[in-house]
Structure formats: C-alpha cells, structure tokens
Structure 1
C-alpha cells in the first residue's frame, strides 16, 4: 500500500479509537447541501461525519480487530463517529433520514459491540441524557412533595374549618 494510504488508514484508525460509537450510513444520491445540513446537526450533538473509502476503512478496522464482525462495505459509505451521547446522534440520523429519505443507516457499533439496524432504531427512540436526568430529578422530588402535602394537611384542614365556621356556610355540629 502506498504511504499516503497507510497514513489515511492510520488516521481513520485513530478516529475509531477515540470514538465511543460508530454508525455507517450509505449516502448514495445525497446532495452537498444535505451533507452540510447533516454535518451541522451532528456537530450539535458532538458527532462528526466522514466520507472514507471502503478499502481504507476495512484496513483500519482490521487493525483494531473489528474484522470479525463481517461488515458489508459495498456502495458509498460514510462514518459517523463521536464521543458524546450516542442516543442523540442516532436520533439526529433517524430524523434526518425521515426528513430527506437519505442517508440509509447500515449498521452501528457501540464500543466494540456491533449494532443491528433495529438496535440503532431503539437507541434513536431512547430519551437523551438531559431528558433522563430531568425524569430522575422528578422521581427524587415526588416523595418530598407528597411528604410536604401530608404534613401540611392537618394545618390546612384546621384553617378551612375556622373559615367555614366564620362564614357560617355549614350548620353547627
């Protein structure tokens, strides 16, 4: 292999090492404007899109031990890598594919575990980290709110009783 191709394969390998997830998409038929829009959306969730040659990607993945997954590298493929929220990146991909009917998600990897298309769809349907944190805080807050309502109810009942007596809106007991 020529030295420049070896250097490119090494760069791809470094990118894959630093990434916590990887999605492979087929981009056949996409326009440059769509690529720009997808890159902008992925950048917002700390992910990036790279178009690479299949042979260089195969060589880089073999160097990392990913060759055992038997990935299908036919057609025009692009990689989406990142170290942020994998669910947010999958969600961006799914929404973009629904909006523009491209790119086609082929597969994904989370760490060194391969993901099928169905598993990528499940990741895309999960809430983001921020939504999960908000739900968790709501769960922590709920028991304290219930306890506060239970403790304040006797005093509130007494106030309502005095108010009703003062307004004589109920018959005396």
Structure 2
C-alpha cells in the first residue's frame, strides 16, 4: 500500500469513527476468509461494519476521536467492528464469537467509556434500540387501552344486567 492509500485509509477511518456509537476490537487470528465474510455480512445486516487495518494505521485513525483511549488494544491481528447503534456491533460480535472461538473480543469503547471484554458482553445482553422503542410504545399504549376498557365497562355491565332481566322476563 503506498503512502497516499494509507493516508486515505486513515482519513476515512477517522471520519467514520467520529460518527460511530460503539467500537469493538477483536483478534481474528485463524479465521478463514469465509468466516470473516460471514462476520462482516452479519454486522452489515445489523447496521455496522468490520474494518481490518494495520495496527499502526488504526492507531493513527483513532487520534482526535473519542476512541483514542483504546489504542493499546491494537496488538496482533485485530479488527474493528463499529456501528452507529450502540448495541448492534457488540451484539453481533459477541454472538459470532460464541459460535467461532477464533474471534476473540479484546474490548472496545462507547463514546469516552472504555469497555473490557466483559463490558462488551454485558452491552450485548441489553436490548437493541428497536426493541427498546417497541417496549416503550407498548408501555405508552397500555394506559390508553386500560382507560378505554374502564370507560366501556360500566355500559357493558348495564347491558348485561338488562339482558339478564329480559331473559328472566321471557322465562317467566
């Protein structure tokens, strides 16, 4: 890779990291191309990306971002998994690492918060942004449903009483 290509890689990665919600750093030694492609595809479907870069170039790209504190994780064959959604990259990486022992999560960062491997795993257990939105909508919708049911109930009781009296009158 010539200097211009390296400079462009560093610049592009730096600009991407400035707009990223979460970065996960992992070792990928021993993974086949097919396994790495599958990992990239899963992360892409979740709204993230995987980037493999030389450690020195990755450290240069981390400069002037909130993720500069994780530069000590870059030793050996490492890859960056990142996403705007703070949960997506962690969830996909942890799930994939469970099925493939060659992907070893080293740690990561969410904004200025540095996470170790256990922190990334704990983050992966949280519900995603879409799941949280669905839960919130359900919680907001539940009181309206209960109010409608409560308002409707006295009328329904009255109708049942009238129906019962009518039935008794017909039976007699």
Asked if Structure 1 and Structure 2 have the same fold, meaning a TM-score greater than 0.5 normalized by the shorter chain, the answer is: yes
Residue number in structure 2 paired with 1:16: 17
Q: Secondary structure at the match of 1:86?
A: coil
Mean alpha-carbon deviation: is it higher for 69-78 or for 106-115? 69-78
Displacement of 1:141:
1.2
Structure 1 length-normalised TM: 0.83
Displacement of 1:68:
4.7
Residue number in structure 1 paired with 2:57: 56
Residue number in structure 2 paired with 1:39: 40
Change (3 A) 1:140 1:8: closer
Mean alpha-carbon deviation: is it higher for 139-148 or for 3-12? 3-12
Where structure 1 has 5 or more consecutive residues not aligned to the other structure, the ranges are: none
Q: Secondary structure at the match of 1:74?
A: coil
Q: CA RMSD in A?
A: 2.6
Asked whether 1:104 is paired with 2:93, we answer no
Q: Secondary structure at the match of 1:50?
A: strand
Aligned partners of 1:96 and 1:102 also within 8 Å: no
Structure 2 length-normalised TM: 0.84
Residue number in structure 2 paired with 1:153: 153
How far apart, CA to CA, are the structure 1 residues paired with 2:103 and 2:166?
A: 72
Change (3 A) 1:66 1:137: closer
Residue number in structure 2 paired with 1:118: 118
Displacement of 1:10:
3.3
Mean alpha-carbon deviation: is it higher for 6-15 or for 128-137? 6-15
How far apart, CA to CA, are the structure 2 residues paired with 1:155 and 1:65?
A: 60
How far apart, CA to CA, are the structure 1 residues paired with 2:139 and 2:5?
A: 55
Residue number in structure 2 paired with 1:25: 26
Where structure 2 has 5 or more consecutive residues not aligned to the other structure, the ranges are: none
| Correspondences of 1:161-172 after superposition (within 5 Å) | 161-168=161-168
Change (3 A) 1:45 1:58: same
Displacement of 1:67:
4.9
